[in-house]
Amino acid sequence: MDRVDTVTPSPAAPGVDTRFGKYRMVQRLATGGMAHIFLATLDGPDGFSKPCVIKRILPEYANLEPFSRMFADEAKVAALLTHPNIVQVFDFGKIDGQYYLAMEWIQGQSLDRIMRHAAAANIPLGARVTVDVGIAMSDALTYAHAKTLSDGTPLKLVHRDITPGNVLVSRDGIVKLADFGIVKSSVNLERTVAGVVKGKYAYMSPEQITNRELDHRSDLYSLGIVLYELSTGRRLFKRDTMEATIVAASQGDVPPPSQVAPGFPAELERILLKLLAKDPAQRHQTARELHDDLERYRSAQHWTSSGRELATLMSTLFPPDASGRVSTALAVPGSMPGSSSQVGGSGISSPPPVAMPEHVVELHESSALVPTGMLPRSTGTGSTTGVIPPPEPVAAAEAFPWGLAAAAGVALVGSAVFWLFIA
């Protein structure tokens, strides 16, 4: 990164410990029922101080095997991944009964928040931003999907949570993939609970939401949803209710982008529709194949690959305030349902709580570990999209199984104990 924008951190919230092992807690960024996220520094001699983010599980959950095991699995996988387009996790441990992860601090915004600010400012993001983000994410997934253990055993990684909230963009235009909290891999494959679906419904592939066998092509489908929404400014499967979202995502009916956004580039439409094929065999078969497809398209448009466009977009959407401070969210993976404050909603220079962004509300109603018996396997009516923000109201599907609503509600309550670190 060529430069780093700096701001003066606000004081830590009342009750925040000043020290946590070798780390100094500066500010609580997000709080929830299962973990806290802090801005921290790792201090050394002669004024050395490195900012980082600490994700800390609460002691009462650290003593519950499923939570500590998932947290450890996340750390094991993240420790194997070192790539410029993946948020770096560089420390894991346990202090006073509390497990923690220390992660790279990205001063920037989530893609979700960028999309909302752009919509509010009536700034279309369009093909160029979509291609830049797509190339960065496909590069990250190419690396992650091909990663092996130290003995050469394939990691067989599937992220399972590719969403706008987990795509981070720094103020310098660097794009990074975050949060491997529900990753599937050879490290934790044997620990996956049978009959449970993990992820955010609006970004699940058809095979993920119906609990079929997953491979890396599921991540490509989820990335396709993100790029579709980024390029068109319209939600693809998100609906007003969790149940309607589940039905829309399981159907997987994708209106061609040119129907949603007239004049949409034909070649980019071809790429997105291939990514979003219901049958995994009809999609791009690897992230490298997608990367090359997007690179050919960018080259044909004579666009550069410096990241300058994204950096300019960031400074336009999130300019300095009157005092000259950069208004920026601390783009941190791993925020939780039930947060009392949300990292995407407050910058470091403005610590008071603000209204929760819509995508966090979406996490509450449509992100959980839900028994698959409550999820639909049949198809119904076509999908309707919504402008970002907010999603357009949509009529209930004519063939909507109303029994699903009650069943899903019961399942959601029953599985609440499994909610964990969703960004």
For 76-89, how does the pLDDT look when each residue is reduced to its tens digit (9 = 90+)?
Answer: 887 888 899 999 88
The more confidently predicted of residues 167 and 330 is: 167
pLDDT above 60 (res 290): yes
The pLDDT value given to residue 314? 93
Range 319-327 average pLDDT: 63
Spatial distance between the Cα atoms of 276 and 254, rounded to a whole number of angstroms: 7
Neighbours of 43 (CB within 10 A): 13
pLDDT above 60 (res 384): no
Spatial distance between the Cα atoms of 225 and 223, rounded to a whole number of angstroms: 5
The pLDDT value given to residue 325? 58
Cβ-defined contacts of 55-59 (< 8 Å, 24+):
55/100, 55/101, 55/103, 55/332, 55/333, 55/334, 55/421, 56/20, 56/98, 56/99, 56/100, 57/98, 57/99, 57/100, 58/33, 58/34, 58/98, 59/96, 59/97, 59/98
The pLDDT value given to residue 94? 84
pLDDT per position as a tens digit, 10-24: 444 444 558 888 999
Kindly indicate the confidence band of residue 389, based on its pLDDT and cuts at 50, 70 and 90.
low
The rounded percent of the chain whose pLDDT value lies above 70 is: 66
Token pair for 51: 């900012």
Kindly indicate the confidence band of residue 188, based on its pLDDT and cuts at 50, 70 and 90.
low
User: Could you tell me which of 371, 365, 334 has the C-alpha nearest to residue 244?
Assistant: 365
The pLDDT value given to residue 58? 77
User: Could you tell me which of 179, 115, 144, 119 has the C-alpha nearest to residue 310?
Assistant: 115
Helix 287-300 to helix 126-146 angle (10° resolution) is: 150
Average pLDDT value for the chain? 73
User: Could you tell me which of 157, 214, 153, 149 has the C-alpha nearest to residue 184?
Assistant: 157
pLDDT above 60 (res 157): yes
Instruction: Tell me, yes or no, if 161 is annotated catalytic.
Output: yes
Spatial distance between the Cα atoms of 404 and 34, rounded to a whole number of angstroms: 28
pLDDT above 70 (res 297): yes
Range 60-80 average pLDDT: 76
Range 298-317 average pLDDT: 89
pLDDT per position as a tens digit, 98-154: 888 898 888 888 999 999 999 999 998 989 999 999 999 999 999 999 988 878 888
The more confidently predicted of residues 388 and 128 is: 128
Kindly indicate the confidence band of residue 75, based on its pLDDT and cuts at 50, 70 and 90.
confident
The pLDDT value given to residue 317? 92
pLDDT above 60 (res 417): no
Q: Positive or negative, the Cα torsion across 130, 218, 78, 366?
A: positive
**Residue 11: partners with Cβ closer than 8 Å, 6 or more residues away:** 27
Kindly indicate the confidence band of residue 344, based on its pLDDT and cuts at 50, 70 and 90.
very low
Q: What is the DSSP string of 103-156?
A: E--EEEEEHHHHHHHHHHTT---HHHHHHHHHHHHHHHHHHHHH-B-TTS-B--
| Cα→Cα distances 295→258, 299, 305, Å | 21, 6, 9
**Element housing 360 (H / E):** helix 358-366
Q: What is the dihedral of CA 330, 334, 339, 344, to 10 degrees?
A: 30
Range 311-328 average pLDDT: 75
DSSP state of 234: B
Selecting among 73, 132, 161, 172, the annotated active-site residue is 161
The pLDDT value given to residue 308? 86
Q: Is 200 helix (H, G, I), strand (E, B) or coil?
A: strand
pLDDT above 60 (res 366): no
Spatial distance between the Cα atoms of 333 and 169, rounded to a whole number of angstroms: 12
| Cα→Cα distances 336→76, 109, 318, 362, 367, Å | 20, 17, 24, 12, 10
pLDDT above 50 (res 195): no
pLDDT above 90 (res 178): no
Tokens 């336009």, located at residue: 316
pLDDT above 90 (res 176): yes
User: Could you tell me which of 248, 287, 260, 250 has the C-alpha nearest to residue 271?
Assistant: 287
Q: How far is CA 216 from the centre of its chain?
A: 16
Spatial distance between the Cα atoms of 277 and 274, rounded to a whole number of angstroms: 5
Tokens 């990684």, located at residue: 157
Kindly indicate the confidence band of residue 181, based on its pLDDT and cuts at 50, 70 and 90.
low
pLDDT above 50 (res 413): no
Structural domains for the chain: 108-317+359-418 (1.10.510.10)
Kindly indicate the confidence band of residue 276, based on its pLDDT and cuts at 50, 70 and 90.
very high
Q: What is the DSSP string of 367-382?
A: BS-EEGGGS--S--SP
The more confidently predicted of residues 412 and 197 is: 197
Range 190-210 average pLDDT: 71
pTM here?
Answer: 0.74
